[in-house]
Amino acid sequence: MRRRPAPPRPAEPGLADLAPDQRLRRLELTVTRRLDGLLHGQHRGLLPGPGSEIAGSREYRPGEDEVRRMDWAVTARTTVPHVREVDADRELTTWLLVDASPSMEYGTATLDKRELAVAAVAAVGFLTAGVGNRLGAQVLTPDGLRRFPPRSGRIHLLGLLRALLAAPRIGGYDEETAPGRQLPLGASDAAPRPGAVVVPATLADGLDGVQRVAHRRGLVVVVSDFLDGLPDHPDGAPHWEATLRRLSVRHQVLAVEVTDPRELELPDVGLITLVDPETGRRREVWTGDRALRERYAEAAAAQRDQVRQALRRSGATHLALRTDRDWSADIVRHVHAQRRLAAAPAAARGGAA
């Protein structure tokens, strides 16, 4: 008798196939092993620098002090310019604005943009966790703005991450780009849930929501691809820039930009169908045209530069993450760079003294 062939062994599950709790555990291990210990003694999260508790005043030093820290009351009494001195907050309130719009569900590498956003949220949450520190979040979804009140503790953070991982996805995409396959996912083809009141929310709406609830000075982290509201003209300002600038006046703002390599350049794979995940518009493109691929790359580079310039004008610190790179290493480099920048003025004042 012929023996039946043994059934093939199932493939090892990838990150996208793991249960939310297993994925959270893997994220936590990655953060604690790679990033823990970087911020000991810092109460400002991923942005080392001054706090917000008033500790006194001193004379203004031209070229070293920021004008927005001027103590106008003391300046008026003494007729000599003074600035406020502040201590680092002993309790940090971190507000997260997480973009979970359809454009964040696209990815062609190990992680998609949405999973990378969850990884960034995990890094911020685990690194800013501490006694008395609180974490609140607002999630920008196709159904509107979902709010998570600020609370402390690991259980609250894990609940937030679990909600982000388990949220239903809209549409889908193929991992390999081949002729006739969609490049980004067609998200707008999905219908809203029965009985749901769909309130379209933009990135500017999400920032307005954070500004309304973030009364105390703290850390605001915005995780998005920042494609929402970009004007067609490269010199125009996005709709969210003004609100982000107002947040930066009162809070320290970290803008985490999430991108995918296929958003920056097209591969030569023949005929593909490009789908706008926000509007559902489709266009067939022949990627064998070299001139078209060059124009696409130039337009994508100009778009990302437009985002960088807007973030710089708004006063936010910019952290760029890509789905095809080691996100934990990028965060480590960012933290070290911010520490060097924070230490530079202190070293300059010590040398001058």
Same domain, 190 and 242: yes
Express each pLDDT in 2-13 by its tens digit: 555 555 544 444
How far apart CA 91 and CA 45 sit, in angstroms, is 11
As a whole number of angstroms, the distance between CA 102 and CA 252 comes to 28
Q: Are residues 61 and 171 in the same domain?
A: no
Residue 13 lies in a domain: no
At 111 the pLDDT is 84
Q: Indicate whether 18 pLDDT > 80.
A: no
| 207 and 339 within one domain | yes
pLDDT (0 to 100) of residue 125: 87
Do 245 and 277 belong together in one domain? yes
Both 83 and 215 in one domain: the answer is no
Domain containing residue 109 = 22-50+89-348
> What confidence tens digit (pLDDT) does each residue in 283-328 have?
898 988 999 999 999 999 999 999 999 999 999 999 999 999 988 8
Most confident listed range (28-32, 57-61, 251-255)? 251-255
pLDDT score recorded for residue 295:
92
Based on the fold, state whether residues 63 and 152 are members of the same structural domain. Answer: no
Confidence of residue 209 (pLDDT cuts 50, 70, 90): very high
pLDDT at 181: 33
Same domain, yes or no: 111 and 42: yes
Q: Is residue 16 part of a domain?
A: no
Judge whether residue 146 has pLDDT over 60.
yes
The pLDDT value recorded for residue 312 is 94
Q: Indicate whether 107 and 195 sit together in one domain.
A: yes
Among 25-39, 68-82, 292-306, the range of highest mean pLDDT: 292-306
pLDDT at 348 over 60: no
Of the listed ranges 30-34, 56-60, 69-73, 231-235, the least confidently predicted one is: 30-34
In a domain, 224, yes or no: yes
Same domain, 219 and 339: yes
Q: Give 170's pLDDT tier (boundaries 50, 70, 90).
A: low
- Same domain for 171 and 31, yes or no, is yes
Q: Residue 32 above 90 pLDDT?
A: no
CATH number at residue 192: 3.40.50.410
How many distinct structural domains can be found in the chain?
Answer: 2
Would residue 12 count as lying in a domain?
no
* 0.75 exceeded by pTM: no
Is there a domain that residue 5 lies in?
no
CA 19 to chain centre: 23
Residue 218 lies in a domain: yes
pLDDT at 62: 82
How much is the mean pLDDT over the chain?
A: 76
Three-state secondary structure of the chain: CCCCCCCCCCCCCCHHHCCHHHHHHHHHHHHHHHCCCCCCCCCCCCCCCCCCEEEEEEECCCCCCCHHHECHHHHHHHCCCEEEEEECCCCCEEEEEEECCHHHHCCCCCCCHHHHHHHHHHHHHHHHCCCCCEEEEEEEECCEEEEEEEECCHHHHHHHHHHHHHCCCCCCCCCCCCCCCECCCCHHHCCCCCCCCCCCCCHHHHHHHHHHHCCCCCEEEEEECCCCCCCCCCCCCCCCHHHHHHHHHHCEEEEEEEECHHHCCCCCCCEEEEECCCCCCEEEEECCCHHHHHHHHHHHHHHHHHHHHHHHHHCCEEEEEECCCCHHHHHHHHHHHHHHHHHHHHHHHHHHC
Among 30-39, 157-166, 192-201, 313-322, the least confident range: 192-201
Say whether both 76 and 188 belong to one domain. Answer: no
Residue 136 inside a domain? The answer is yes
Q: Are 283 and 312 part of one and the same domain?
A: yes
Q: Specify the range with the lowest mean pLDDT, choosing from 138-142, 156-160, 348-352.
A: 348-352
Residue 74 resides in a domain? yes
pLDDT at 90 over 60: no
